[in-house]
Structure 1
Amino acid sequence: MKIKVDLSHSAKDASYDILINSNISIGTILESIGIKKRACIVTCKTVNNLYGFLISNLLNSAGIEPIFIVLPDGEIAKSIKYLSYIYDELIKSRFERSDYIIAFGGGVIGDLAGYAAASYLRGVNFVQIPTTLLSDVDSSVGGKTGIDHPSGKNLIGAFYQPKIVIIDVDFLNSLDKIELINGFAEVIKYGAVLDKDLFLYIEKNLDKIMLKDKQSLMHIIERSCSIKADVVNKDEKENGFRSVLNFGHSLGHAIETLYNYGNIKHGEAISIGMVFASKLSKELNLCGNETVNMLETLIKNSGLPTEIPKFTPEEYINAMKLDKKVEDKSIKFVLISSIGSFKFEKLDFAFIYKFLENLL
């Protein structure tokens, strides 16, 4: 199946397709978009061990020479240190603007490789081939690229759209349950605030999804990508509406920062953030107990956490003050009004502090 990210209305038409299927002829597709000579494959150790030989053969069969840059697994790679390493390798290989960078891995690899592509030679061609559920449904689509800073997550980055996103669900065959659940949090997010039918589908088919039933996975990936593509079509650079995709992320990113990007996965932090946002919504009389309970129950049944870690309210507020949605002494929060519906609210940090104080 093919989903169009339509950015023809932007100053520079950066429209592209998202291809979703199994057993995709990746080499043929890459050749068709204009890769003629070589491509740099940015990947991580685990993905390279699993699929490096396969992707190398697929590119070679299309007459494309692969140049591999293999990075450590995990959030540690999303740093200025490894961004500089990518630059070093590109320069060493005399990489040209007409060449392509291919992000082959999960969300960390996609964000890092995308930012390298956006900044090297003021912009080189870029392709996303995600290999995790998280990157399939979220980070590979929409053009957000960047790295972390010791002070906070995603503080350095740029909007830079790929030429194409190729999602082959067969890569999920090797994904362990922890990583499957990690990515599943973002699928729940789409259903919770943007698509009630998706939320109900997840409730009904949760066991199949967790067993990696291909048809069920294809459905949630297709719906998630369609939803995100529609949001990005309306607001490419997050000037307003696209902020809805940050449901659960204000507290979630604060949690990741407080853990120094270790001991907690992105999906786990976002799940806690979604439950927190739903309770905040109830406190503001935007939704009732039923909405909070439905969301919290689905998150728990998916194997994701819901309890807020025992940091102090001061620590949470200080971490949230680095959020890009902060203005003066308040933050634009994405709240839930019912399953499938949302509302933006500008909340004072003093109010959030008091609410956290009562929860912790």
Structure 2
Amino acid sequence: MVGAGVFTVWGPAAAAAGPWLMVGLLVAAVVAWCNATSTARLAALMPEAGGTYVYGTRRLGAFWGHLAGWSFVVGKTASCAAMALTFGTYVSPAHARSLAVVAVVAVTALSWVGVQRTAWFGRAVVAVVLAALATVAVVGLSGPRAAGGPAVGDGGGVLTSAGLLFFAFAGYARIATLGEEVRDPARTIRRAVPIALAVTLGTYTAIGFTCLWTLGPARLARSTAPIRDVVESNGLGGLAGATSAVAAIACVGSLLALALGVSRTTVAMARDRHLPARLARIEPRSGSPRWAEGAVGLAVAAAVLLSDTGPIIGLSSFGVLLYYAVANASARTLTRDEGRPPRVVPILGLVGCLTLAVSLPLGSVIAGTAVVLVGVVAWLLTGRSAPAGPAS
């Protein structure tokens, strides 16, 4: 969760809510908490690879599992594109799109030869990012408050802002999708998810307030690299360069991990005949699913070339919110013996996900709906004969 999102999402969110940005963050956090609680309970009961693709299939039926898996692939592919564009923007704004494509090609090539982001690398990236963000918060809040500027956003854009900010929270599902590799999942997952969410919320609250304090709503709404702008506003150009380097590392690390996750979900759906069977092919020498990885890489590169960070973040949030809507609906079916959450949690999570999804910018809603409908048509054409078992 503490990755590319925190370096880029504040601009589009501020454009929608303006000075109400932190209210949007709180709304996003409440929905994320409901989703996290439902996901943790489901993962503890069904600690299998696949996440909500498995839960939806098991608890609601094959169609809902397919819808969750398709929404995950769509949303996370868009997330990859947003991460790549954020990388390019922080490295060299004038060449952001070209650098983003280079990053996508490089990550795809690494995954083809079987290179994956290891646990120690992930921990190191998180430690560096948290240290950098703490420094930015100290620098920003110790400087002068931004002068008033032209009005931007209003309270009516809080839900839109929350939907966009949800992009930054998405990530706790990774714990659930790796359920088969977790020791004592019934205990570990139920503890890990809320702890991760709490740490992330604290970090985002500090950074969001710092961005508003230093840049003001209007300038923040125009910013494509808000963390760097906060540092530069306080006259620390050298630190701005270091901040850009940290952002680039965080984006590449997140991009590699997420691309691997999307390709593996693609393989699982292809094995269950929800996607073309060729995408499930595993190369015997490297052990990598090159067809799936190549398809994901092409889709991400196309998104990078055809759109901008704001609309891509909206599309990502739309797909991921639908994914968690299915998770909440699945959690609603749990019994007391199965460790169901308080009844209000999955209901609030389901309603919250759907509300935020339709509150996103109109272009994101239209694009997201169109892509999801393609997935529904694909299921109608091929999915009815697919097995109803869990993801492989």
By the TM > 0.5 criterion, same fold?
A: no
TM-score (norm 2): 0.28
**Highest relative contact order (Cα 8 Å, sep 6+), 1 or 2?**
2
Higher helix content, 1 or 2? 2
Higher strand content, 1 or 2? 1
